Amino acid sequence: MGNFALYNALSKGQIPVQYFNLMEENYSKYGLSVIQLIQIGKFYELWHKPNVPSIQQAYSQAELLVIPFGGLNPITDYSELESSRSRSLGVTPPIEQVASLLDMRITSPGKRSLLQMGFPIYSLTTYLSTLLDKGWTIIVIDELATEKSGPKQRAVSQVYSPSCNLEDCPELSYVISIYFKDDLLGITLFSAMNGHSIMFPVYWADRDKVARLLISYRIKEVVIRADSEANSGILNKIYDLL
C-alpha cells in the first residue's frame, strides 16, 4: 500500500507527540474506529494518555447534547439515548477495548507515563482479522532502515480497514458510501479487491433500496457524507436505515 506519511528522525521524547498528532489526522481521515500501531524495535505498540478522555469519549459526550428529529421526552428518552449512543460509539478508550479483545495487558512504566500495550511484529497477521471483524481501521507505523546509531525514522506503511484487507479476503467485500443532500441519496458501492464500483441516486422516498443493497452485497464499511446544513434528525434517520 506504500508509505502515506513519514516521521523525521526523532528523539525518544518526541515520538509520542507526533504519534498523537498523527492520531488526530487519522481520526479526521478514517473516523473514530482507528487503532494506531507504532513499531518500537521488534514490537508494535498502542499508546494512550492516562487520565485524558479519548476523542471517542469527547465525541460521544457532545453527541448526547444533540436532540434527535422530533424531540425527546425529557424524562424517559435521554437515558435511553445516552445508553444507546455510548454503546454504539464505544466510549471506553480504544486501548482498553483492544486489550480486552486480544486478551492482553496494559502497562504503564510510571504514574504519569503513557498507557501502553503491544505484541511482537510477527503477531500482527494473527490479530488483524479479529480487529477488522470488530470494525476497527488499523494504521501501522513502521521503522525505516537507517544507520544503527541515532534516532529512527518511521512511516505509515499500511492502512487496513474492514473492506480493504487484501491479505485475507476469501469473499468479495464492498464499502458503501452515502452522500445526502435535500431528499436525494447518492450511493456508491466499491470493492478494493477488484476495483468494481457502482454509482446511482436514490430518492429518500425509495430509501428501502439501500437496505436491500446491504443484504445483496457483502458490505464491510459504511461512509456517510451529508450536506453541511443537514440536521441531526435526518442523519439519525440515515443511521436507523442502516
How many independent structural domains does the chain possess?
A: 2
* Residue spans of beta strands (DSSP E) within the chain: 5-7, 34-40, 43-48, 115-120, 137-143, 154-160, 174-181, 184-190, 197-203, 219-226
Give phi and psi for 131, each to the nearest 5.
-70, -45
| Prediction pTM value | 0.60
pLDDT along the chain (242 residues), means of 10: 47 76 85 89 91 61 42 37 41 88 87 84 90 90 76 82 64 80 85 77 85 78 72 70 70
Both 19 and 105 in a single domain? yes
Both 153 and 190 in a single domain? no
Both 221 and 123 in a single domain? no
The pLDDT, as a whole number, for residue 77 is 39
Both 107 and 195 in a single domain? no
The pLDDT, as a whole number, for residue 51 is 73
The pLDDT, as a whole number, for residue 85 is 39
The pLDDT, as a whole number, for residue 71 is 41
Domain that holds residue 152: 14-66+91-160
Residue 25 is classified by DSSP as H
The pLDDT, as a whole number, for residue 138 is 92
Angstrom distance (rounded) from CA 35 to CA 101:
13
Cα distances (Å, whole numbers) of residue 68 to 19, 43, 91, 221, 226: 35, 44, 20, 24, 16
